[in-house]
Structure 1
Amino acid sequence: MKILSASIVLLLLVGFLYQSYSSYVDSTSFDKRGEMIDIGDYSLYVEDIGTGKVTVIFDAGMGDDSSVWNKVAEEVSQFSRVITYDRAGLGWSEESPHDRDSKVIVAELHSVLKDKDITGPIILVGHSFGGVNMQRYALTYPEYIAALVLVDSAHEDQIEEMPQTNYLQKYLFKFGMWAAPVGIPRLYLSNINPEEKAKKSTTKHQYTSLDEAEYFPRSLSELNELTPNYGDMPLVVIARNKASSEIDNTKARDLVWATLQENIATRSTNSTIIFSGARQHSIHKMQPEIVIEAIQTLAESL
């Protein structure tokens, strides 16, 4: 028993040293193209590229950092100014002492835009949880926002309409995140690009992702309380898979998701919905041309 206990302690110590050393190497090995912007007691990592009369601002999905937008951002920067950033506690950004709900996140982003004196016209682009944040931003600061692009955005009713079914997968995933101090996430993040892996493998990033997940129901509830309606603001909803009318009734979750995306599109009288035709959630990574074209069409119309 003593040998087993000693072996476990040794493995944990080796894992901790491995994680600490790898995180240090990662933090010094990548060319940080952006800047750290002080928003109070902590700073956020922000990249500002391209020029143009329109500024396009991106927010990533839950657990993601700004590097997931690299393909799209590089192309969009050819015709617009582009802002990508890591939310507090994610990627290269510092941790925040505040709750990780959408209301706080939007206030933090607004502080960044004020620091950079960005007042519009602005196109907001959000993926998944980032779509919730960008919707809230558009409702909170509508005077600055010219258009909204939502890429497979989360919906306020999705927890009720699409309850978790694979609890084993859920808890195994959470265990891996909690085990970040001993380097476990580095094992299952090995198939992504090196910069994204470096940013996501830190203990800080993994624990912040857990915090965002914990506050996710509150973020959805807060958005629902605002009764999202964007008037005639240009709104493009880019959704995975196909329209609800084209989905077999036996594929219940696919059908519900398509219906929720179609509901989001009703929030503006000037909306367009685009279905990717593929079932992957990360449309901006797997089919970036769809997102780029939608943004360019909007930018040229403003």
Structure 2
Amino acid sequence: MVSLWGAKRGDSDRSQSQEHNDNDDDEQNQTHHQEPTEQTRLLPRDDSNNFLSPDDPAVSPYNLWSVRALRALSLFALGISFVWWTFLLVSIFVSPPLIHTRGSGFFAFSYTTLAVGYLVLGLLFFTVPSKQMTIWGLILSLLLLVNMIIIVSVPHIRREEGGVGIASVVWATVISLYQVVQNRTVTWGKREEEERLTGREETRRSLREWLAVLIEMIFLVVMGLAVVLFTATLILRARDASLAPQGELYSVYGGLYKVHLNCVGNRTAEDPDQPTILLEGGGGPVEHSLQPFIDDAYQSGVINRYCYWDRPGMAWSENAPSPHSAGMSVDVLSEALALADESGPWVVVSAGVGSLYSRLFASRHLLEVNGIFLIDPLHEAYLDSIGRPGRGFLLWLRGIISPLGLDRLAGAIIRGRTREDRVIGRSAYQTGKFIKAKLQENLVAVTMTAAEVQSARHIQMGETPLVVVSSGQKVKRDPLWAECQEDLSHITNNLVSWDVVHDAPHEVWSSGEGRQVLEKRLREIVEASRAHK
């Protein structure tokens, strides 16, 4: 009886086991035939009793195709941004067709650098999103939006930045907003996968994750501070744009940019041979150096009429495309004078490096220039120092950080610098336009400009009256400068006078003795030019 009962029981157990196995097979087949979802495509959904550890590498937002697609989009945006960044970097030295900016171009480069940096940062810390990153991303987006509004709404800045600058700031704004979306999407994907594979959202962070969040936060704070400085500098530029120039702005070089030209005094029909003084500034805006002295001479009757202009990138003049040599500046001056219906006879008056430009103008207008007046002029032997590679690198570096406006903002807030100081005064050297002009001067000093000046010396008419007034301080301090001053007194055969003013600095007109000598020689060169005519 026991054996029979045991046999019957064994048959019953085998039957139940077989039925249970059949049910499992049915469930597996049913699961196998279910349409895969986004969550089950890469990893199958586990039962609640088989959750993974939160530290398992399989617990990753990359399991979702939407997150992977977002990362691919970030890589694509980084590629586009890097190409544009490289393009803008090259355009500082050589302007491609249709890409010239009438301003310095450093703002466009800075916005693109910001976009590239933000994309790289987002990719490096792609799987470590945080609420703090979202907050800082929104702050950065808002600040960039303000920058975009300023650039587009202020006509002067909009013209200087052009399509290149506007496109760059818009792109940076779009990238900052995109990074916020990316951060939120990855946060969602991370939570979804944690709940699916571990059974709950992971709220704790490892030390490595906290370190990653801290590093990204530091970079985002730095970017935010940079954009705050960009905004403050743009506000200063908008303020400076309200300073109207004396004279007119003329479109030159095929309408690519404008230069400022102003003529003071009227021509008299009774004395058509009376020359017009044509000023060329030194290392900075002529309005801050030579023009006030010449205007005093005009007011006192020493001269009857004078004209002055700003070289490209100086004061109210816009930047020229790169490369840009001294001879190219002289050509656009000639074009501006023609557009203003101004003609000679001229007596060119210049100081420092501006003397190279005056000599080029005289050699290209032989029949119109009746006198050359050089005030402590720069000799072409010093073009090597202007074109030093180290100097060029420092100018480029200054240009790159110029959108931060550290020196301009400090001057305006702490030292009380006015818009006149920043446009035509002692702070003009801080502007991006000025730095770009000096960088252009550096890049071609020993090549194009040196060749142009050498040719001008061969072409110059020997009968043109010449006056040279040199700084006694520089002559005593630098024997080479003294030799070069003597050499410049021989660029024509008609030397009216060469004076070395004993105690005068490089800006000879800033001393009392220097002003007396200059006024005296100015009268003499005007009379000599009339006789030469």
Partner of residue 233 from structure 1, selected from 450, 456, 464: 464
CA distance in 1: counterparts of 2:287 and 2:379, whole angstroms? 21
Aligned equivalent of 1:116: 340
- Seq. identity, %: 20
Query: In the superposition, relative to structure 1, how do residues 243 and 216 fare at CA in structure 2: closer, same or farther (>3 Å)?
Result: closer
Equivalent residue of 1:195, what SS?
helix
CA distance in 1: counterparts of 2:346 and 2:386, whole angstroms? 35
Q: Which runs of 5+ in 2 are unaligned?
A: 1-214, 268-273
1:265 to partner: Cα distance: 0.3
CA distance in 2: counterparts of 1:285 and 1:197, whole angstroms? 21
1:240 to partner: Cα distance: 1.6
Query: In the superposition, relative to structure 1, how do residues 164 and 84 fare at CA in structure 2: closer, same or farther (>3 Å)?
Result: closer
CA distance in 1: counterparts of 2:312 and 2:230, whole angstroms? 23
State yes or no: 1:50 paired with 2:280: no
User: Which string of whole-angstrom CA distances, capped at 9 and with x for unpartnered residues, describes residues 229-279 of structure 1?
Assistant: 4412111112222696xx4xxx5xx11011111100011222222223246
Amino acid at match of 1:26: D
Partner of residue 10 from structure 1, selected from 220, 224, 227: 224
CA distance in 2: counterparts of 1:131 and 1:174, whole angstroms? 25
1:294 to partner: Cα distance: 2.5
Query: In the superposition, relative to structure 1, how do residues 202 and 172 fare at CA in structure 2: closer, same or farther (>3 Å)?
Result: closer
State yes or no: 1:202 paired with 2:417: no
Is residue 473–residue 502 contact of structure 2 (8 Å, CA) maintained in 1?
A: yes
Equivalent residue of 1:280, what SS?
coil
Greater Rg, structure 1 or structure 2?
A: 2
RMSD between aligned residues: 3.1
Equivalent residue of 2:367, what SS?
helix
Partner of residue 105 from structure 1, selected from 329, 336, 342: 329
1:58 to partner: Cα distance: 0.8
Partner of residue 152 from structure 1, selected from 376, 389, 394: 376
CA distance in 1: counterparts of 2:492 and 2:416, whole angstroms? 38
CA distance in 2: counterparts of 1:92 and 1:58, whole angstroms? 16
Query: In the superposition, relative to structure 1, how do residues 95 and 242 fare at CA in structure 2: closer, same or farther (>3 Å)?
Result: closer
CA distance in 2: counterparts of 1:300 and 1:267, whole angstroms? 20
Aligned equivalent of 1:268: 492
Equivalent residue of 2:457, what SS?
coil
Aligned equivalent of 1:295: 522
Equivalent residue of 2:442, what SS?
helix
CA distance in 1: counterparts of 2:516 and 2:417, whole angstroms? 20
Query: In the superposition, relative to structure 1, how do residues 57 and 227 fare at CA in structure 2: closer, same or farther (>3 Å)?
Result: closer
Aligned equivalent of 1:281: 506
1:105 to partner: Cα distance: 0.7
Q: How many residues align?
A: 292
CA distance in 2: counterparts of 1:163 and 1:181, whole angstroms? 24
Query: In the superposition, relative to structure 1, how do residues 55 and 242 fare at CA in structure 2: closer, same or farther (>3 Å)?
Result: same
Is residue 127–residue 151 contact of structure 1 (8 Å, CA) maintained in 2?
A: yes
Query: In the superposition, relative to structure 1, how do residues 275 and 14 fare at CA in structure 2: closer, same or farther (>3 Å)?
Result: farther
Is residue 156–residue 221 contact of structure 1 (8 Å, CA) maintained in 2?
A: no
Query: In the superposition, relative to structure 1, how do residues 8 and 292 fare at CA in structure 2: closer, same or farther (>3 Å)?
Result: farther
1:159 to partner: Cα distance: 4.1
Partner of residue 19 from structure 1, selected from 233, 241, 245: 233
Q: Which runs of structure 2 are paired with 1:134-283 in the superposition (5 Å)?
A: 134-159=358-383, 175-186=397-408, 187=410, 195-199=420-424, 200=428, 201-217=430-446, 218-228=448-458, 229-241=460-472, 247=476, 251=477, 254-271=478-495, 272-278=497-503, 280-283=505-508
Aligned equivalent of 2:128: none
Greater helix content = 2
Greater strand content = 1
Is residue 57–residue 122 contact of structure 1 (8 Å, CA) maintained in 2?
A: yes
CA distance in 1: counterparts of 2:219 and 2:516, whole angstroms? 53
CA distance in 2: counterparts of 1:283 and 1:171, whole angstroms? 31
Greater Cα shift, 179-188 or 10-19 = 179-188
CA distance in 2: counterparts of 1:45 and 1:231, whole angstroms? 31
Amino acid at match of 2:308: T
1:284 to partner: Cα distance: 4.0
1:223 to partner: Cα distance: 0.8
Query: In the superposition, relative to structure 1, how do residues 97 and 173 fare at CA in structure 2: closer, same or farther (>3 Å)?
Result: closer
Equivalent residue of 1:131, what SS?
helix
Greater Cα shift, 284-293 or 269-278 = 284-293
Is residue 148–residue 235 contact of structure 1 (8 Å, CA) maintained in 2?
A: yes
1:179 to partner: Cα distance: 2.2
Q: Which runs of 5+ in 1 are unaligned?
A: none
CA distance in 1: counterparts of 2:241 and 2:444, whole angstroms? 28
CA distance in 1: counterparts of 2:245 and 2:334, whole angstroms? 22
TM-score relative to the length of structure 1: 0.83
Query: In the superposition, relative to structure 1, how do residues 105 and 150 fare at CA in structure 2: closer, same or farther (>3 Å)?
Result: same
CA distance in 2: counterparts of 1:48 and 1:231, whole angstroms? 28
Is residue 240–residue 276 contact of structure 1 (8 Å, CA) maintained in 2?
A: yes
Equivalent residue of 2:518, what SS?
helix
Query: In the superposition, relative to structure 1, how do residues 159 and 32 fare at CA in structure 2: closer, same or farther (>3 Å)?
Result: closer
